[in-house]
């Protein structure tokens, strides 16, 4: 079996410069090894936003059903594929974009409102990670 090998794409000078600029932009940030060595790393941050999105999608699905709209009707209103909407409602699209959620909400006559608040820096809230990141 002789599989044809594909060559890795070559980076242009512009690609290398962009990559270098990105690395320099984040050079001041601590690595996971730095956080672990300092004792500030306490494991991965719980993804609370994911659960908030799941609640939002469940509420939008309930609104769709209450309005008597089918997925086919919402598909026409949003311009999104019916299968995509089904995956969204059934939790098989784990990270929908804001645009996707906005279009779905608008099709139901709803408005998507985004807010922000101060985040807890670590699960225990001791602030170690924030202090280390500010160095």
Lookup result for tokens 């609640």: 55
**For residue 3, what pLDDT is reported?**
60
How many Cβ atoms sit within 10 Å of the Cβ of residue 104? 26
**Distance separating alpha carbons of residues 59 and 8, to the nearest angstrom:** 45
**For residue 4, what pLDDT is reported?**
66
Instruction: Please report the DSSP string for 34-87 in residue order.
Output: HHHHHT---SPPP-HHHHHHHHHHHHHHHHHHHTT--HHHHHHHHT--HHHHHH
Confidence class of residue 7 from pLDDT cuts 50, 70 and 90?
low
Higher pLDDT, 12 or 121: 12
Q: What is the DSSP letter of 14?
A: H
Long-range contacts of the stretch 65-71 (C-beta < 8 A, 24+): 67/108, 67/109, 69/107, 69/108
DSSP three-state, residue 135: coil
Higher pLDDT, 82 or 36: 82
Encode pLDDT of 72-120 as tens digits: 999 999 999 999 999 999 988 878 899 999 999 999 999 988 877 776 5
What domains can you pick out in the chain, each with its CATH number?
A: 44-135 (1.10.260.40)
**For residue 10, what pLDDT is reported?**
80
Please report, rounded to a whole number, the percentage of residues in the chain having pLDDT higher than 90: 38
């Amino acid at each position: 079996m002789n599989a044809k090998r594909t060559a890795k794409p070559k980076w242009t000078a512009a690609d290398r410069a962009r990559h270098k600029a990105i690395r320099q932009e984040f050079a001041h940030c601590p690595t996971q090894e730095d956080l672990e060595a300092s004792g500030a790393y306490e494991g991965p941050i719980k993804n609370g936003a994911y659960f908030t999105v799941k609640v939002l999608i469940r509420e939008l699905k309930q609104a769709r059903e209450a309005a008597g709209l089918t997925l086919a009707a919402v598909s026409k209103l949003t311009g999104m594929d019916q299968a995509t909407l089904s995956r969204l409602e059934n939790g098989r699209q784990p990270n929908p974009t804001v645009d996707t959620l906005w279009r779905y909400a608008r099709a139901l006559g709803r408005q998507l409102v985004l807010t922000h608040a101060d985040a807890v820096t670590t699960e225990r809230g001791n602030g170690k990670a924030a202090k280390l990141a500010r160095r």
